[in-house]
């Protein structure tokens, strides 16, 4: 009888030890899981913040390191990786200490987090002003041509010629081929409103947009309002393609997007010239279009 009691006691002790060990692991696993989630949040934040600086990988690297350090402590030594100038990888690792599991000889565990973000041109945009700029004038992402110190003139006096610098478009009339025609005659007051407030619907890239007839001289007030508010206006970027559809009225081929701040209306009577500068702009709620050039307007996507 005493042997049976001794065996039962020994079994109970072993069972309790195992049970306590499992409980310790469960508690610490929960703690490590929480630590990994915090680390993932830090990696995501660092990646998204740094992606805003791309394609400047040196600046993006500094931003990622700063954000990671401010959102997570005890990180192992790390550096961001750049598969290309438009993509950043952040991989973080830290040691998470155990509490109860130390009784089982498990003092700590390494937790990991990885995030990847990339930038690209929007496949479509809304709140776009009915003003286009030529790609030879627009400022490309990564170039030193953004901001007030890089002011320039937009000349509207050759709206349909091959050397077009800037022009007006009818955002209601566009097509995927060079047959875009004006769907209806947009009023001058509507065009003025689109200059400051933007066209409310999404407009696609790689489409042809028609040239509106007879509204140039009536829209100056829209530009004056933009100067007063120092608004950032979204302008489509065009190539040198000129459509001769619609009875020769002409049309522009939009290949990307730019952002511009108008600082003054230089002239708008005998000639039509605006002065201002390009800025960088981050678009939201749109997709990235592969292969579309970046002219200052970009989308940031967290892809891993």
> Does residue 45 register a pLDDT over 90?
yes
- What is the pLDDT confidence band of residue 111, given thresholds at 50, 70 and 90? confident
CB atoms within 10 A of CB 110: 10
For all residues of the chain together, what is the average pLDDT? 81
Separation of alpha carbons 130 and 21, rounded Å:
69
Contact residues for 270 (Cβ-Cβ < 8 A; gap 6+): none
Point out which residues pair with 113 in neighbouring strands.
Answer: 92
Q: How much is the pLDDT for 106? A: 58
Q: In this model, does residue 295 exceed pLDDT 90?
A: yes
Nearest of 143, 151, 119, 144 to residue 260 by alpha carbon = 151
Could you give the maximum distance between any two Cα atoms of the chain, in Å?
116
- 3-state class (DSSP) for residue 250: coil
Residues β-bridged to residue 143: none
The pLDDT value given to residue 119: 93
| CA pair distance 262, 226, nearest whole angstrom | 7
- Contact predicate 124/286, CB 8 Å: yes
Predicted pLDDT at 162: 46
Residues 89-101 pLDDT 10s: 999 998 876 555 5
Judge whether 132 and 167 are in contact, CB under 8 Å: yes
Which residues, including other chains, have CB under 8 Å from residue 167's CB and lie 6 or more apart? 131, 132, 156, 158, 159, 160, 211, 238, 252
Q: Measured between alpha carbons, how far is 122 from 282 in angstroms, rounded to an integer?
A: 10
- Segment 47-82, tens digit of pLDDT: 999 999 999 999 999 999 999 998 888 888 888 999
Q: Using 50, 70 and 90 to split pLDDT, how confident is the model at 110?
A: confident
Q: Where are the beta strands (DSSP E) in the chain?
A: 81-84, 87-97, 108-122, 124-125, 131-134, 152-155, 166-168, 170-175, 203-204, 208-210, 232-243, 251-268, 272-279, 281-283, 288-289, 297-302
Q: Among candidates 99, 79, 250, 269, which has minimal Cα distance to 180?
A: 250
| pLDDT of 239 | 86
> What is the rounded radius of gyration, in angstroms, for the C-alpha atoms of the chain?
29
Q: Find, among 84, 70, 148, 75, the residue nearest to 113 by Cα.
A: 75
Q: Left if phi > 0, otherwise alpha if psi is -120 to 50, otherwise beta: which for 127?
A: left
**Token representation of residue 42:** 């830090």
Give the rounded percent of residues in the chain with a pLDDT score beyond 70.
75
- Residue 137 predicted with pLDDT over 70: yes
φ and ψ of 88, to 5 deg: -130, 140
Range of lowest pLDDT (50-64, 164-178, 287-301): 164-178
d(CA 244, CA 250): 5
Least confident stretch, 53-67, 104-118, 192-206: 104-118
221 vs 269: which has the higher pLDDT: 221
More confident residue, 188 or 48: 48
Is the pLDDT higher at 111 or at 41?
41
pLDDT at 167: 83
Between residues 101 and 228, the one the model is more confident about: 228
Residue 23 has pLDDT above 70, yes or no: no
């Amino acid at each position: 009888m005493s042997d049976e009691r001794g065996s039962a006691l020994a079994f109970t002790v072993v069972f309790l030890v195992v049970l306590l060990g499992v409980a310790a692991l469960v508690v610490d696993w929960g703690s490590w899981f929480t630590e990994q989630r915090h680390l993932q949040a830090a990696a995501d934040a660092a990646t998204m913040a740094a992606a805003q600086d791309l394609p400047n990988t040196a600046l993006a690297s500094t931003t990622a390191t700063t954000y990671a350090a401010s959102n997570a402590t005890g990180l192992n030594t790390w550096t961001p990786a750049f598969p290309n100038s438009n993509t950043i990888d952040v991989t973080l690792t830290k040691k998470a200490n155990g509490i109860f599991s130390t009784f089982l000889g498990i003092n700590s565990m390494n937790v990991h987090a990885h995030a990847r973000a990339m930038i690209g041109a929007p496949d479509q945009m809304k709140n776009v002003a009915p003003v286009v700029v030529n790609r030879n004038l627009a400022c490309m992402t990564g170039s030193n041509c953004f901001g007030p110190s890089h002011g320039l003139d937009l000349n509207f006096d050759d709206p349909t010629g091959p050397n077009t610098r800037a022009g007006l478009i009818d955002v209601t009339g566009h097509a995927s081929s060079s047959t875009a025609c004006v769907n209806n005659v947009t009023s001058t007051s509507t065009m003025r409103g689109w200059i400051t407030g933007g066209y409310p619907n999404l407009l696609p890239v790689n489409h042809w947009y028609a040239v509106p007839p007879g509204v140039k001289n009536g829209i100056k007030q829209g530009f004056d309002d933009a100067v007063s508010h120092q608004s950032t206006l979204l302008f489509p970027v065009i190539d040198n393609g000129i459509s001769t559809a619609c009875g020769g009225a002409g049309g522009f081929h939009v290949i990307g997007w730019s952002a511009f701040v108008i600082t003054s209306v230089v002239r708008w009577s005998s000639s039509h010239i605006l002065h201002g500068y390009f800025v960088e702009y981050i678009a939201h709620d749109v997709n990235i279009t592969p292969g579309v050039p970046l002219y200052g307007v970009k989308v940031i996507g967290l892809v891993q």
